[in-house]
Structure 1
């Protein structure tokens, strides 16, 4: 559902996982690249049970895998396995709202109050001071409902098993976030110009509600009709309240605090517009290339997406700047850097990156989450980032300067 632990260092009870049974549309082994394989092996060596990564570019698809789909069966991770992409969902949700902006159906400067009257009130929270831009750029000051609900006592295998079939509505999540005063209120004179940044899943809960208010349709319907179907993302789905992930997949394992053994945390509720999507390396890569390649947004809206503010709390990488549902970071060998997001669920970490022109994208899933050790968590994160950077650093376009806002 979320990746708050990667963004702020909090080992919050993020959540959302699944498993299930639907045949994959692509089981054939793709072309393999030795360089990618080396980095996948290095990620696996940090203690990840199974890793799958794919690169999609102008000359086709290459992929690599390491480890097993399950610690008991010892089968390899399936090619094109389904997995929870977690907060990579936010890029999809931002794209939906920017499409509506391009159609003239709302403005980035519209307030939440304009579309959801009275939805953000109480304890000093004020929807009249929060715009669409603030939500998508994470500058609203709204508290993160995940962090507010994170109780260290809940980070146990027993608590996980009790709660893995429990779902929450967006309204319940928003209510939790509004139970305390906001971190700040954007400037009344220019709320959209706010540059204070703090990662909050609540922003994208509200963004999903905005999609529904503007269109009159469920967020999942708009996602399917505007992105999934046009791009042919046949293996991307919104699970709703289901706690299962389709097969083929790999077992997702979590090391809980004070634990010594990995726990199967594949089942679980995945949230909504802030982090619920299930996808595959192939589909996720197709989406990223289409987005940065200009196939999903008009030029003005794509440019707006790339207007960023510094994301000081992004602990897994240096120099990160956050735009509208997507982030930018510098990479050695590329003057224009790369665009990315990332997502974390119990038992699965999604890492990705795409060149500014959309030419090449790398997507990956690591089927292990470390909540037992910050050192191990950071070691895994660094290995995943090195893999992405090695694939996208330099190469065609590496000498251009990029729009960073």
Structure 2
């Protein structure tokens, strides 16, 4: 679940001693990714407790790690760590909705009010004027509930420790957003909104009669064999194997700030905007299958990749339907989605044909340059 406005996913923070480990498949043991490994090490030197990631290409798999998965025991991060993927969840949700469109069960031009009558209203919000497409590409203008001052304080300051097990319903999250006026008229601008994807999950449930998690499981996870990926609802614990997750719990974190273990939390605070758990191998398989045309018909994949421009402070250059396009400094682009939730920063990308995929995770949310890691992989010097 990306957090916008009051804080970014990674700023300068505590410096932690780096323990570097590399793993390659036996078939390609002589091939390494030294620039990618160096960028992971640099993130740890900048303050990230630990990094784990995997590169999947046609004939090889490379896994790099740096730093620790537990600041107390100093156990290193694992190549099979599961972690909270935050807003990378959005690509799964968008894929389900586009599958439903391909099946003729909904249209991207349907209004929210068609499926969720009366849900988006008040303070200038009007679900009769907002389409499913505008929700998926963040042109709806709907305020992001994660930018609400009370929600920010309860979730991203030391008050998190009092509220980490709170349960939110989708209706409650949307209600927080409806207490704010829209940022702009539908279609008149672009602004990242977690509320958009809470609504998207609600549409999935209304169309299918099943939860968004059930649809992701039967349409994506089971067909692709993504056994490390799950869609928790309110369970606060992490499945094993996994590392601990850390945060400064400050809207303006500093290197000197106290570091908190935030591994356990109730993921209903993110819901269909960012509750999922996965690992690097599964994320590579998912994005490779998606961009490779195995999950969507060509028409729907084209819609997904039709982007609108975004501006600062975002490191990506265009946003489609649950899909980010990032233009590389060496030319070309990668497609995927970033994700941030307390204590966890994830990046999952692949090339346009799905042939070169890279997913990685920081188990701290206040330091490190995730885009530098991506650039090191796709633009090695």
Scaled by the length of structure 2, what TM-score is found? 0.89
Count of aligned pairs: 357
Give the whole-Å Cα distance in 2 for the aligned partners of 1:157 and 1:58.
Answer: 43
Q: Which residue of 2 aligns with 1:362?
A: 358
Per the TM alignment, residue 152 of structure 1 is displaced from its structure 2 partner at its CA by 6.3
Aligned equivalents of 1:284 and 1:333: distance in 2?
Answer: 24
How do 1:22-171 residues align onto structure 2 when only pairs under 5 Å count? Answer: 30-31=24-25, 33-150=33-150, 153-154=153-154, 158-171=158-171
Is 1:338 the equivalent of 2:334? yes
Distance in 1 (CA, whole Å) between partners of 2:132 and 2:331 is 31
Q: Is the 8 A contact 1:12 1:151 kept in 2?
A: no
Match of 1:322 among 312, 319, 342: 319
The aligned counterpart of 2:19 is: none
> How far off is 1:49 after superposition?
0.6
Residue number among 8, 11, 18 corresponding to 2:7 in the alignment: 11
Report what 2:207 is aligned to. 214
How has the CA–CA distance of structure 1 residues 129 and 224 changed in structure 2, closer, same or farther, with 3 Å as cutoff?
same
Distance 2:106 2:154 in 1: 40
Match in the other structure for 1:294 = 293
How far the C-alpha of 1:115 sits from its partner, in A, is 1.0
SS in 2 for 1:233: coil
CA distance in structure 1 between the aligned counterparts of 2:153 and 2:204, rounded to whole angstroms: 35
CA distance in structure 2 between the aligned counterparts of 1:123 and 1:388, rounded to whole angstroms: 40
Taking a change above 3 Å as real, the CA distance of residues 159 and 12 of structure 1, as seen in their structure-2 partners, is farther
**Offset of 1:340 from its aligned partner?**
2.4
Q: Secondary structure at the match of 1:224?
A: helix
- Preserved CA contact (<8 Å) 2:54 2:79: no
Q: Judging changes above 3 Å, is the alpha-carbon distance between structure 1 residues 261 and 173 closer, same or farther for their aligned structure 2 residues?
A: same
Answer whether contact 1:305 1:325 (CA < 8 A) is retained: yes
Q: Report how far residue 240 of structure 1 moved.
A: 0.8
Measured against aligned partners, the alpha-carbon deviations of 1:154-174 in whole angstroms (never above 9, x if no partner) come to 467641211111110101001
Structure 2 stretches lacking a partner, 5+ long:
10-21, 26-31
Deviation at 1:252, TM superposition (A): 0.8
SS, match of residue 272 in structure 2: coil
Map residues 171-186 of structure 1 onto 2, 5 A cutoff: 171-186=171-186
Which whole-Å CA distance do the structure 2 matches of 1:63 and 1:228 have between them? 22
Counterpart position of 2:217: 224
| Conserved 8 A contact 1:53-1:281 | yes
Deviations 1:139-162 (A, max 9, x none): 001111110144665467641211
Q: Is the 8 A contact 2:158 2:249 kept in 1?
A: no
1:305-320 equivalence runs, <5 A? 305-313=304-312, 315-317=313-315, 320=317
2:257 to 250, 256, 260: 260
SS of the residue 2:71 aligns to = coil
Q: Deviations over 1:263-291 (max 9, x none)?
A: 11111122211000000001011101011
8 Å Cα contact 2:132/2:200 also seen in 1: yes
CA RMSD in angstroms comes to 2.1
Equivalent residue in structure 2 for 1:245, among 235, 238, 243: 238
Cα distance in 2 for partners of 1:153, 1:175 equals: 17
Distance (Å, rounded) in 2 between the aligned partners of 1:222 and 1:248: 25
Distance 2:283 2:62 in 1: 14
CA deviation string 1:94-121 (max 9, x = no partner):
0000000111111110101111111111
The aligned residue for residue 19 of structure 1 is none
1:348 aligns with 2:344: yes
Using a 3 Å threshold, how does the CA distance of structure 1 residues 316 and 43 change in structure 2: closer, same or farther?
farther
| Alpha-carbon offset, residue 316 of structure 1 | 4.2
Contact 1:354–1:392 (CA under 8 A) maintained in structure 2 = no
How far apart are 1:261 and its partner, in Å?
2.4
Instruction: Provide the rounded CA distance (Å) in 2 between the counterparts of 1:60 and 1:316.
Output: 31
TM-score between the two structures when normalised by the length of structure 1: 0.84
Find the residue that maps to 1:220 and give its secondary structure.
helix
Gaps of 5+ in 1: 14-27, 187-193, 371-376, 396-405
Query: Which secondary structure does the structure 2 equivalent of 1:73 belong to?
Result: coil
